[in-house]
């Protein structure tokens, strides 16, 4: 299994999601492209190149230049959107779903049902403008009761444990982590739960207790001797461009 960690610009959110705070942190925005036996899978779509809505600009202060958008970077790797067998959106923030319109030729695009339902709520318009995803082609997936994850809810996409979507709420209502397994080893794409396993910092939290549980679970996975890496979408340290296992 080969993972390409693709950086699509930066965001500069206010610290701890407090809108009145003037202090900002700068984080890279990552998507992940996975080459595996089941095909070509893209996790998240990065920031859009198109002009941001005013309130989003205020909240995230995104930075993205021509050539840094997901399609340009797929092209550099020799791929086009129609080559993608699956696109997984881990949550509907503009830096995860922003490029959704540009990868509509992918064979399948999936968004968590709870995330989609609750993201229609008014208070999310600040950072989840519907214009980036609502009128696009996608299917919903439903987590189900399992023994995996902080909520015991996950979905084994190919029923072989190679790609599992794990319900890890806290950052948003249904943020999903992607657990990859191959040859007895695992890598966790931890989405927007924390920016680092060590610091436990997060960009924004809608529910402290869920956030704490999700973070505890990420730490548990990181401590597993078979876990080779944790890749957050906004890491405090740069991610390796390619990781194979």
Nearer Cβ to Zn ion, position 68 or 192?
192
* Closest approach of Zn ion to the CB of residue 169, in Å: 12
Nearer Cβ to Zn ion, position 18 or 76?
18
Q: In whole angstroms, what is the distance from residue 91 CA to residue 116 CA? A: 8
Q: Is 143 helix (H, G, I), strand (E, B) or coil?
A: coil
Give the tokens for residue 113. 């049902």
Q: Is 119 helix (H, G, I), strand (E, B) or coil?
A: coil
Q: In whole angstroms, what is the distance from residue 42 CA to residue 110 CA? A: 11
* Closest approach of Zn ion to the CB of residue 233, in Å: 7
* Closest approach of Zn ion to the CB of residue 91, in Å: 6
* Closest approach of Zn ion to the CB of residue 140, in Å: 19
Nearer Cβ to Zn ion, position 181 or 205?
205
Nearer Cβ to Zn ion, position 69 or 93?
93
Nearer Cβ to Zn ion, position 151 or 202?
202
Q: Are 2 and 229 in contact (CB under 8 A)?
A: no
H or E element: which one contains 169? none
Q: In whole angstroms, what is the distance from residue 80 CA to residue 119 CA? A: 29
Give the tokens for residue 190. 């931890």
Distance of CA 32 to the CA centre of its chain: 8
H or E element: which one contains 57? helix 54-60
Nearer Cβ to Zn ion, position 162 or 172?
172
* Closest approach of Zn ion to the CB of residue 183, in Å: 31
Nearer Cβ to Zn ion, position 93 or 115?
93
Summarize as ranges the residues that interact with Zn ion (CB under 5 A).
93, 192
Instruction: Return the HEC string of 151-202.
Output: CCEEEECCCCCCEEEEECCCCCCCCEEEEEEECCEEEEEEECCCCCCCCCCC
* Closest approach of Zn ion to the CB of residue 192, in Å: 3
Q: In whole angstroms, what is the distance from residue 131 CA to residue 155 CA? A: 27
* Closest approach of Zn ion to the CB of residue 53, in Å: 16
Spatial CA neighbour of 34 closest among 219, 229, 235, 223 = 229
């Amino acid at each position: 299994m080969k993972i390409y960690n693709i950086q699509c610009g930066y965001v500069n959110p206010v610290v701890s999601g407090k809108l009145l705070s003037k202090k900002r942190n700068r984080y890279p925005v990552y998507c992940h492209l996975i080459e595996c036996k089941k095909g070509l899978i893209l996790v998240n779509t990065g920031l859009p190149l198109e002009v941001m809505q005013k309130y989003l600009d205020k909240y995230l202060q995104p930075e993205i230049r021509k050539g840094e958008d997901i399609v340009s970077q797929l092209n550099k790797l020799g791929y086009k959107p129609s080559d993608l067998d699956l696109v997984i959106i881990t949550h509907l923030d503009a830096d995860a779903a922003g490029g959704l319109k540009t990868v509509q030729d992918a064979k399948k695009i999936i968004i968590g049902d709870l995330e989609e339902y609750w993201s229609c709520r008014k208070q999310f318009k600040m950072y989840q403008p519907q214009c980036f995803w609502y009128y696009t082609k996608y299917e919903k997936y439903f987590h189900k009761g399992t023994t995996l994850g902080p909520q015991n809810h996950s979905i084994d996409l190919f029923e072989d444990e190679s790609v599992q979507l794990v319900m890890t709420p806290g950052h948003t209502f249904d943020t999903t982590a992607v657990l990859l397994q191959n040859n007895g080893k695992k890598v966790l794409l931890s989405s927007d739960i924390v920016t680092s396993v060590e610091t436990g910092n997060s960009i924004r939290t809608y529910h402290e207790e869920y956030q704490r549980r999700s973070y505890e679970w990420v730490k548990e996975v990181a401590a597993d001797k078979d876990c080779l890496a944790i890749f957050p979408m906004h890491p405090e340290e740069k991610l390796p461009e390619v990781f194979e296992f």
